[in-house]
Amino acid sequence: MKKFFLAAAWVACGLGAGAQGTLSGDIMTNLNYYQRDSGILTPDNSLYNDYLSGGESWLSLRYNYKGFTAFLRADGFQNSNLYDPKIAISGFGIGAWSLSKEIKGLTVTAGYIYDQIGSGILFRSYEDRGLLLDNALVGLHLKYKLTDNLFVKGFTGQQKNVRNFSRYAPIIKGLNLEGDFTIGNNIHISPGIGALNRTMDNESWLPVKSNIDAQDSSLRFYPRYNTYAFSAYNNLTAGDFSWYIEGAYKTHEAIEKDNVLKDLPGSVVYTTLGYARKGIAVNVTGKRTENFVMRTSPNELLLRGLMNWQPIVARLRPQRLLARYTPASQDLSELALGTDVLVSPNDNLDITLNYTHINTLASVKLYRELYGEINYRGLDKWIFMVGGQYLEYNQKLYQVKDVPLFTAFTPFVEATYKFTDKTSLRTEWEYMFAKNDFGSWIFGLLELTIAPRWSFAVSDMYITKLNPNNLSGLKKPAHYYNAFAAYTTGPHRFTLSYVKQVDGINCTGGVCRYEPAFSGIKLGITSTF
């Protein structure tokens, strides 16, 4: 099938040269050169001991002609560390393909499908190359426009397994009805409902049954092949107000909880309420999650076999030290509340305040953040930002480290000077006062931008007060230097960096995972055509 589609894609490309269609594409390549650093790396990592280099590449082609769309992407991994930073993976193949045709309001797509229901709580198939997440649905997708304000879509297939260019065996089926209506002069609503069914195959079901049978007799149950989930949602805007709310329910299935498999239903309620007008904006976000595990089967763990995406209430911070302790969404037990306030009394001043409060449903403290920043643009050629964060972070749950609750206070300052409309110099400084984990940190950065072609940056993270009980085994304070350069010309961008990175949380697109330390050189190339 893959060879057939590859041939069909080449035919489509040939047709595109003579027909009035459009052919476009992009390429992305990452190359890593690993440098052994006994101060921060474990000695059993073969990437540093043996292979010494690795990387990954993606090449995509798109062809459009008279309502017909063909897509093809080739993926290549050569001793890549993206899937698991401690293990090299290699392989080459067709990472995604699809054929789509619009026929009088009905759009039919076959192949690798990226889509979601609502905010993604019930179902979301998407790609995140930074974390090597690619849970495309491989199958058939139909979308029909019932009226100008109402559409329905349905899909069925299997989820892609990015590890070996295969598919998870369980079958996924979904249905979604969504509308878009205007009421009166200033009220707009976008309601929707969704339903999902996952059916396990026998080979996936048997290990679940075996694990349950090995449990204590009081904990045994008969696992179900089918799981059903439903959601309803609506986005309302009325003048200066906006309100999004979504509720989802999942029927009983086997999920791992308290180190055993249990037969439990699940639910999620998620909402955001916002108010914005000139000079002020307020946003409140809340989420309650209970046993809402959505995977291809109970056999999959971590980022494997995920069928959905749960929004995180905590904000993703761009500052280097603050981003190290970002909480991931919890699908078993989470009660989260976040409040954001933005005040802008004039064009030169912005004040942002944020508070985030996350517990388990049993009132175990997971995360607290009190954050504030001030942006000032009142001086000619200067932009200033100053702020601070107070943080409480449960490393035992988020990072599976048997340590006390992590607390830290981190003030930061940033200044940007514009030499010209195209050239600017930015500096950023942070200091994290902490006793747990590694201890206290200082971070400094200088970044020179010469638009539209050049960008340079140098930075350093240094442990000023090392915690002698840190679990990494680090015996003395260390510097973590970084140097970066980027060159952009037309559709091409080239990046080169030297990276010495301490282990910690890496977040992309709201998905977070723990990564070990990295030391070496990274080369990146991206291009569109």
Cross-strand partners of 91: 77
The pLDDT of residue 291: 96
What predicted TM-score, i.e. pTM, was given to this entire model?
0.89
Q: Going by C-beta distance under 8 Å and a sequence separation of 6 or more, which residues neighbour residue 103?
A: 67
pLDDT lower than 70: segments of the chain? 1-19, 38-44, 505-516
Residue 15 confidence (pLDDT) = 47
Compute the C-alpha angle 60/64/70, nearest 5°: 50
Kind and range of the H or E run holding 4: helix 2-18
pLDDT at residue 128 in the model: 85
Q: What is the pLDDT of residue 418?
A: 95
Check residue 502 and give its pLDDT: 80
Residue 11 pLDDT: 45
Q: What is the pLDDT of residue 512?
A: 60
**Looking at the chain, how many residues does it have?**
529
pLDDT tens for 61-88 read 999 998 899 999 999 999 998 887 778 8
Bridge partners of 443, per DSSP, are 430, 461
Which residue's structure tokens are 């089918």? 226
pLDDT at 507 (0 to 100)? 56
pLDDT in tens, 301-330: 877 899 999 999 999 888 889 988 989 899
In contact, 195 and 174? CB cutoff 8 Å: yes
- Rounded Cα distance between 324 and 211, Å, is 36
Query: What local confidence, expressed as pLDDT, does residue 47 receive?
Result: 83
418-455 per-position pLDDT tens digit: 999 999 999 999 999 999 999 999 999 999 999 999 99
Distance CA 162, CA 91 (A): 10
pLDDT at 477: 86
- Taking Cα atoms as reference points, which of 79, 61, 78 lies closest to residue 70? 61
Structure confidence at residue 133 (pLDDT): 86
Please give the C-alpha separations between residue 122 and each of 155, 232, 288, 334, in angstroms, as whole numbers. 14, 10, 14, 17
Which pLDDT does position 506 carry in this prediction? 62
